[in-house]
Amino acid sequence: MIGSKPAVYSGKGPSPFSQCVFRQFRATTGLIGFSSMLIGVFLLPLRYFWLAYCRAPAASWAEFVALAGVGTIVLYAVAGLTGSWLFNSRLPPGDPAPIR
């Protein structure tokens, strides 16, 4: 459970990947990899931007940039929870149906 080999998908049948990128990352890298990803990709940058926001003077560019950083991190965290099914979906072969 701590570490495992990366999953391999042959492209036949339904995708075995999770619809949540966090569950998928936890399953493929184990507890240590998942914890490292959360700390390195989300928690440290979020802490950096939040402290920059708290230290920035009101109505300044530094405050705007810090809030934009926090918003970007939150956006990617939410997209990781809800949007990975878009990236793992397989389209059927052939031409798309005509739009009428």
Q: Which of 28, 48, 42 lies closest to 75, judged by CA?
A: 42
Query: Is residue 51 predicted with pLDDT exceeding 90?
Result: yes
- 55-67: per-residue pLDDT in tens? 999 999 999 999 9
Pair of tokens at residue 58: 């009101």
- Asked whether the predicted pLDDT for residue 47 surpasses 70, the reply is yes
Question: Cβ neighbours of residue 30 under 8 Å, at least 6 residues apart?
Answer: 1, 2, 3, 4
